[in-house]
Structure 1
């Protein structure tokens, strides 16, 4: 009976967490398309100034994950995720009161701190819940379900944002921002009521290991294989963000006759992500994780090459080529998202997993900062230059992953066996090799 009770609590907690992650994606899908126009109209500031203030707020929050990782290991991930949701809600409520640039910076900083704290702790919460899952799910399945729900959530938010943009009403914009704040508060309630803290505590390592407080970041900074993994994942993350950052302006400026296809192709990517994530997880679960990530690198290189392909093709082939290109992107993302998150969790010592995963999230933060600068600089040189550089970087991840894999813990590389890839379904190995 005790085992059944624990299993029920874990299932309830998992469902609540899935809903929290989906709500976060709905909020992002709804707010991002409206953000620049709403904040510009509310404050009277130019789009350039609004963009600068939002970027500045993001830079202010950049050091936060290092502190969040320590708090997650000390307090557990649930309270940090809860505070993160409340901070984001406070930021959105601040957006409703924006009247000048100072208010924009303050609200954006609060929201950015909350978002950074959320992504620096939420994946630790997922990883802890998936430890010894009584249902026999692998980590990839947990992250796969989350990836699918996030795609659905972002798509729903984007649809509502599109309706709001078509209405072009300040009142509708404010209603959308207010809805985001309310959704984040709902997510906080779901988390507090649905996820018992007792089922979010990571499994402890074997007796005799050092205490987490004495290990801290000293172990992580000495763990060269894990830092190399973060570096390689930055390349993957760069490929990941380029669809939304680089693809629309490339098509608009160099293939203006088919600009209309951008919206449908982005919608197609969302549908593919939502519909096929769990299927792809089942198909790749027997592959070693580093092999799956090599596959993602090849697929992203194919996406980059095919995106540039219309520059040398007759117009009749532009849409088919771009369609295949986006499908390659979708396939790469379907493989990369669950596998990379599972690998980062299982490659970390359990007692300081919070610090490790917080640092792993820097790969996405760095990619988000670098991508606009990289694309604009290379695009000024040549229309094909950004895609050639991206394809080359993506292909370099293949030898990089093959060289790195033997230096990572065996249980982090494998997906067969137990829920975490171990031979008996127990906690992942925590021994380091090559550190």
Structure 2
């Protein structure tokens, strides 16, 4: 029997040398920067700048809503101008925004910074999918999974750096981290400039029976329904960092350190199993079944977490470990299914427009997540967890029919392109290791 090779397994996460590997290098550096940013920015604003919790939350919420209408426009610009140009615009703005955190002095300066940053961040999110599709061509789904897995590694590394800075705790320790994040974005921009400046793809030619429309996504009913389901499923990705810490600390006897353990387990499962669990998810119908498995897995994991109160610390710890692992696997199926649908349903010339619409829906879900998780679920205990899991199961049950509807309504050329990335079983390490999404 062939032994396990860590080197070969690690190589399965890397595409061949070339533009794909260049993109992944830049993306991973960006995720390291994000891994530093996410744990520190609220602490910096509330503990160092001394902005109240309520005003910090208000500024972040207002900024999210202000930037929201721009995502569809940004995605359309990526299709019309070329994706690399719009991606670079988004990266440049985030570089300036991260550096601007050191100048925040109160609510109004915070609001200006986060509003500006969201304009550029939403622009980036709406255009990165179009760039990845141009770089990877028929192998987009595998490439997107590799990006996801290595991005998780980057976030983990960044969080370790953030932990050091938080331990030091001085104002200049935080400011130094923000300046380091900004410097990382300069590196990402330099790496992205090495990727070709792809020209916009031609739109379908008009005929007497049909003329191409600019906002095709707004007329694509299967994709609109899919976007709503996908956006609602996105709420599940915030359970680990919004609902679970409160549940563990306030409602169970599990040690407080299990909060950190849950983060480590969730990330570790994604890193180890992302490629393996996603290797056979390539067509729209396979993606729909993956989302169904996601719904079942989320319900099962949430039931384990819901059972934690009233038990001894050791049993509560066992339940949180088991629940988090099951949920992490479910989320791998979720992101794997989403990757396929988000690249197989949109026409290639309108990928950015479709991504922009999808990001608009997802941002609304992200805005609603704290209200659902902290305002409703946590207060209802076991019933709240059961209701949340049941809701995600319902979304999973709907997904195969939605995926089939989307596949049937694609033009023949697009349907063929959507399945062109089906892996050859003899491809070797990559096919044998086999991703999720998650964002």
Q: State yes or no: 1:196 paired with 2:196.
A: yes
Instruction: Tell me by how many angstroms 1:42 deviates.
Output: 4.7
* 1:151 alignment partner in structure 2: 152
1:271 alignment counterpart:
268
Shift of 1:419: 7.2
Match of 1:310 in 2: 308
2:263 corresponds to 1:262: no
TM score, norm. by length of structure 1: 0.86
- Counterpart CA distance in 1 for 2:203 and 2:322 is 46
Q: In structure 1, what is the equivalent of residue 224 of structure 2?
A: 227
> Which structure 2 residues correspond to residues 277-356 of structure 1 after superposition, within 5 A?
277-285=274-282, 288-311=286-309, 313-356=311-354
Residue 59 of structure 2 is matched in structure 1 by 53
2:98 aligned with 1:92, yes or no?
A: yes
Equivalences, count = 405
Partner of 2:243: 246
Q: CA deviation at 1:214?
A: 5.0
Q: Deviations over 1:162-183 (max 9, x none)?
A: 1111111111111100011011
Shift of 1:95: 0.8
Secondary structure in structure 2 of the residue aligned to 1:32: helix
- Please state how far the C-alpha of 1:380 moved relative to its aligned partner: 6.2
Residue 409 of structure 1 aligns to a residue whose secondary structure is helix
Which of 126, 132, 140 in structure 1 is aligned with 2:132? 126
Shift of 1:253: 0.9
- For 1:399, the equivalent position in structure 2 comes to 397
User: Is residue 281–residue 337 contact of structure 2 (8 Å, CA) maintained in 1?
Assistant: no
C-alpha separation in 2, matches of 1:120 and 1:355: 8
Structure 1 residues 312, 39: closer, same or farther in 2, change over 3 A?
A: closer
RMSD: 2.8
On the 8 A contact 2:277/2:333 being kept in 1, the answer is: yes
> Counterpart in 2 of 1:377?
375
Q: Which residue of 2 aligns with 1:78?
A: 84
- Deviation sequence 1:72-129 (CA, Å, 0-9, x none): 1111211111010010111111111122322211111122222111111111211222
Distance 1:28 1:353 in 2: 25
CA contact (8 A) 1:93 1:181 kept: yes
Q: Deviations over 1:175-233 (max 9, x none)?
A: 100011011111111101x21113x755x5665579x995122x322211111100110
Aligned residue number for residue 14 of structure 1 = 20
Cα distance in 1 for partners of 2:173, 2:72 equals 38
Unaligned residue ranges in structure 2 (runs of 5+):
1-14, 424-439
Q: Is the CA contact (8 Å cut-off) linking 1:143 and 1:337 kept in structure 2? A: no
Pairing 1:27–2:33 present = yes
Q: What's the counterpart of residue 7 of structure 2?
A: none
Give the 3 Å change call, closer, same or farther, for CA 339–20 of structure 1 in structure 2. Answer: farther
Runs of 4+ residues deviating >6 angstroms: none
Unmatched runs of 5 consecutive residues or more in structure 1: 1-8, 133-137, 426-435
